[in-house]
Amino acid sequence: MASHFAVRASQALMQSSPKWRLAIWLLLMLSASLWTLQLWQNGARVQSDILAMLPHLQQDKLTERALNQVEATLADQVYIALVTKDETTAIAAAKLLMQKLEADLVATGKNAALTEIRSADMQLGEALGQYYFPHRFKLLTAPQAEALATKDIGNLIEAATAQLYNAFGYANSNLLAQDPLLLFPANLLALAPSSKVRASQGILLANQGDNVAAVVMAKGRESAFNPNAQLAQMTALTAALDAVKQSYPDINVLKAGALFHAIAATQTAKSEISILGLASLLGVIALVWLAFRSVMPLLLAIVTISSGLLLAVTFTLSVFGELHLLTLVFGTSLIGIAIDYSFHFYCERLSDSERSAKATVAYIFPTVTLAFITSALAYVGIGLAPFPGMQQVAIFCAAGLLGAYLTLILAYPLLAGSRLPEGSRPLAFAGTYLANLTKLSNKLTTPLGMGLFALVIVVWCLIGVSKLTVDDDIRHLQQSPASVTEPENKLRQLLSGGTDNQFLLVRAASEEALLQQLERVSPLLDAAIANQELGNYVSLSRYLPSQQRQDTAYRLQGEIYQTQLDTVLASLGLDENLKPELKAAYLAAKTEYITPAAFFTLEAGKQLAPLWLAPNEANSPVSKGALNDGGVSAEHGAEHGADQGAIVLLGGIQQIDALKARFAHDESVQLIDKVADISAVMGHYRLLTLKLLALALSIALLLFSLNFGIKKAAVVVAVPALAALLTLATLGLTGSPLSLFHALALILVFGIGIDYSLFFASAQNHGKAVMMAVFMSACSTLLAFGLLAFSQTQAIHYFGLTLSLGIGFTFLLSPLILTTTQALTNNPLLTTKKS
């Protein structure tokens, strides 16, 4: 019933007036234009973040919160190192840079591009001291705890005495009256993480050989991947750095942060859109002019492409609310596909100049419709991948093809009615090519010819596929230029050996259990550092001892304040009248604890709060403050039953496998490696896409057998299948590793290749016209995708290279459907046998 209705509807459409069709087309294009304009005005935007193309990992809620927390805290950080030989100059230059950035912040207020401008905070240490001192009875370093546990109080007395007589010691009468053994200063020093950096005059400093680097940090108010935010942030940075350079011309500047990668990606994408798109468009225009020698086909070719691009943008913005720059780069290939319908129309007009435009559209309508459906389904196959960017590509290109198809059906009957100049030369060229192919087919249809042909194909495929390797690493999708990566790597090494994408997520069912778990993890990480598996780490265990650990410290200090206090005071020459006050202070501290809730109210606590994942996210003390750990950038990376967790940042990872092995059997500790996880997902979907291609070939065989019979349908499907196999073999022989983007491109090879096969299978007596149309179509597609193969972005390069090879093989193989059929029909041996 549905198929009967579709046939009746198509017949009614073909019989309708060309004027009515054009009116409908104009109404559609006007509506699309107005709707797109409305979408832009309502906040639709261009997205340039390569990470927006990546799959959304299926994670439990706590892992997802941890990933979002790390990304939100560190993604938009900007790091600037001012390197010079003189420390005084480096400090002065850093202060000038901060002064200029802060002046811009004050001048622009809420619209400031960069906020949280900072270096070293000299007041943090004092604030921490004021917070921890009332809890001094609950704090002990490992050596202090060991001395008290073994009742070796004499060692502690000797250490305190040495401080008393040290000209540079930190002992004073007030401190001695409250902490006679001077235990607290050592505990305060233990809070500072081991690092290559130091602070002077409020500036963070690091040594680079004989040079000194002063480091300034800031945070972008908006995402670094927002093109407008990029411009604003770079404008503010450039102005401030120009002022620094003017005052200190010998300063060398190192920059790091997602901002500089995003700018490089945006510039590359914009450049490629303009260059590749323009080259593809000019190539198509040249093809049309050389073939038809008329202005009207050229104008209609531009109209076809424009209408396709209009619907592509409209549908994409309607579905996603944004348009990825890489979608636009991929979309330049739409020029080479959308124009195919125009080629087929005008080639049929050339072959039968007496036929009207309306009749020509009606003649090619069934084949073009089937070709459109198969190509659109191929794009839908791409849309099944878990990549938002590739889903955009699928919607963009499928909608673009729809626009081109509707333009052919609705606008061409009236607009393309003018007579064409004599087109015998291109048709004669196509005829000669087909004649030569027929001669070749005559040779191939002999047993020896078919055997040799099959042998060459089999050997080529076996050798090539055996050499094929795979590469699913997402870091190879987009590689920033050396001008961005080299300064960043230097700055990473300066600060901390590099803060990496990976981090630990520690889980527990309660706050106390979580703190105890963090304390168990720290010695393992210290051992990893000693074994050169890791450079450094940032953990809350350094700042938030568990109640169990605090109780242990309190009990051990009872040896001082309840047993040995007389000995301590006498040994240090302190007034014995201090004894009652010290005992009273010790006893009063028994129920007072260092707690996360209290710690996160401090300025230092606010900076570290993103590492704490409370059970109720709404009540979490996590703030949006920056993690001032001296690292450079941590861009990203199963339900365990735990309802809260803590993040441990890792830096300078040297042996990721050894690090994973340390926690492999601990379900409460998870090494989050988003890069590896996404790469694994890419590998999974690469295999799934290849299986989907096999399924698509099977469905196409079943569908076409209803129209052509099983034998002819098998030949039609065999062409894109063999083209895909030859493409894989060629990739293996050239050393190009197989990735998801190769597999996605093979889906399109199938979609486009089926078009060519269908046209030849339906050619009947119009072989020259079909050959000419397929030749022009292949040239335009190769222009588009061949240019994509020169893209600096690996994902686009892989996509373009695979499509170029696939379409090239399809173009060579598809005419054999027609010529081999003719050769078999004219073969006297077969004819005799048949009779």
Half-sphere CA count of 693, side-chain side, radius 13 A:
27
Judged against a pLDDT cut of 90, whether residue 406 lies above it is answered with yes
Most confident among 11-20, 437-446, 617-626 (mean pLDDT): 11-20
pLDDT digits (tens, 9 = 90+) for 197-207: 777 788 888 88
pLDDT digits (tens, 9 = 90+) for 357-405: 888 888 888 888 877 887 777 777 767 766 677 788 888 888 998 999 9
Most confident among 227-231, 293-297, 496-500, 573-577 (mean pLDDT): 573-577
pLDDT digits (tens, 9 = 90+) for 36-84: 999 888 877 776 665 566 666 556 788 778 877 777 766 678 888 888 8
Q: Which amino acid is at 185?
A: P
* Per-residue pLDDT, 196: 66
* Per-residue pLDDT, 407: 93
Mean pLDDT throughout 615-634? 42
Give Cα separations from 573 to 160, 560, 577, 579, 586 (angstroms): 11, 16, 12, 13, 21
pLDDT band at 631 (very low <50, low <70, confident <90, very high): very low
pLDDT band at 828 (very low <50, low <70, confident <90, very high): very low
Tell which residue, 205, 253, 233, has the closest CA to residue 76.
233
pLDDT band at 826 (very low <50, low <70, confident <90, very high): low
- Pick the more confident residue, 432 or 459: 459
pLDDT digits (tens, 9 = 90+) for 269-292: 777 767 777 777 787 778 777 777
Judged against a pLDDT cut of 60, whether residue 175 lies above it is answered with yes
DSSP E strand stretches across 86-168: 114-118
Cβ-based neighbour number of residue 424 at 10 Å = 10
Most confident among 334-338, 491-495, 560-564 (mean pLDDT): 560-564
* Per-residue pLDDT, 193: 61
* Per-residue pLDDT, 627: 39
Bridge partners of residue 499, in order along the sequence: 651
Q: Return d(Cα 16, Cα 237) in angstroms, integer.
A: 63
Tell which residue, 762, 671, 750, 670, has the closest CA to residue 712.
762
Q: Return d(Cα 545, Cα 558) in angstroms, integer.
A: 18
- Pick the more confident residue, 829 or 240: 240
Judged against a pLDDT cut of 50, whether residue 641 lies above it is answered with no
Length of the chain: 835
Q: Are 765 and 819 in contact (CB under 8 A)?
A: no
Cβ-based neighbour number of residue 486 at 10 Å = 12
Burial level of 378, CB count in 10 A (0-12/13-18/19+)?
buried
- Pick the more confident residue, 118 or 630: 118
**Phi, psi (rounded to 5 degrees) for 589:** -85, -5
Q: Return d(Cα 256, Cα 491) in angstroms, integer.
A: 7
Mean pLDDT throughout 547-566? 91
Bridge partners of residue 256, in order along the sequence: 79
Cβ-based neighbour number of residue 152 at 10 Å = 12
DSSP class of residue 738 equals: B
Judged against a pLDDT cut of 50, whether residue 633 lies above it is answered with no
Segment among 205-209, 247-251, 454-458, 631-635 with least mean pLDDT: 631-635
Judged against a pLDDT cut of 60, whether residue 637 lies above it is answered with no
Give Cα separations from 375 to 295, 716, 751 (angstroms): 29, 15, 4
* Per-residue pLDDT, 334: 67
pLDDT band at 629 (very low <50, low <70, confident <90, very high): very low
Judged against a pLDDT cut of 90, whether residue 555 lies above it is answered with yes
Which residue, chain included where needed, has tokens 């990496």? 500
Most confident among 100-104, 358-362, 550-554 (mean pLDDT): 550-554
Dihedral over alpha carbons 657, 661, 667, 670 (to 10 degrees)? -30
Segment among 457-461, 767-771, 776-780 with least mean pLDDT: 767-771
pTM over 0.75: no
- Pick the more confident residue, 551 or 121: 551
Bridge partners of residue 646, in order along the sequence: 506, 612
Mean pLDDT throughout 764-770? 68
Secondary structure, 3-state, 535-581? CEEECHHHCCCCHHHHHHHHHHHHHHHHHCHHHHHHHHCCCCCHHHH
Q: What integer best gives the mean pLDDT of the chain?
A: 79
Which residue, chain included where needed, has tokens 């953990």? 539
Bridge partners of residue 118, in order along the sequence: 217
* Per-residue pLDDT, 274: 73
Cβ-based neighbour number of residue 210 at 10 Å = 6
- Pick the more confident residue, 179 or 535: 179
pLDDT band at 14 (very low <50, low <70, confident <90, very high): confident
* Per-residue pLDDT, 640: 43
Half-sphere CA count of 738, side-chain side, radius 13 A:
26
Mean pLDDT throughout 151-169? 78
Judged against a pLDDT cut of 80, whether residue 265 lies above it is answered with no
* Per-residue pLDDT, 792: 74
Mean pLDDT throughout 720-735? 91
* Per-residue pLDDT, 32: 93
pLDDT band at 409 (very low <50, low <70, confident <90, very high): very high
- What domains can be seen in the chain, in order of their start residue? 1-43+271-422 (1.20.1640.10), 135-188+550-593 (no CATH), 424-466+709-835 (no CATH)
pLDDT digits (tens, 9 = 90+) for 504-533: 899 998 999 999 999 999 999 888 888 888
Percent of the chain exceeding pLDDT 70 equals 83
Judged against a pLDDT cut of 60, whether residue 721 lies above it is answered with yes
Q: Return d(Cα 499, Cα 542) in angstroms, integer.
A: 18
Judged against a pLDDT cut of 60, whether residue 649 lies above it is answered with yes
Half-sphere CA count of 202, side-chain side, radius 13 A:
10
* Per-residue pLDDT, 730: 93
Judged against a pLDDT cut of 70, whether residue 411 lies above it is answered with yes
Q: Return d(Cα 714, Cα 721) in angstroms, integer.
A: 10
Secondary structure, 3-state, 368-418? HHHHHHHHHHHHHHHHCCCCHHHHHHHHHHHHHHHHHHHHHHHHHHHHCCC
pLDDT band at 333 (very low <50, low <70, confident <90, very high): low
Which of 123-132 are b and which e, b meaning 16 or more Cβ less than 10 Å from the residue's Cβ? ebbeebeebb
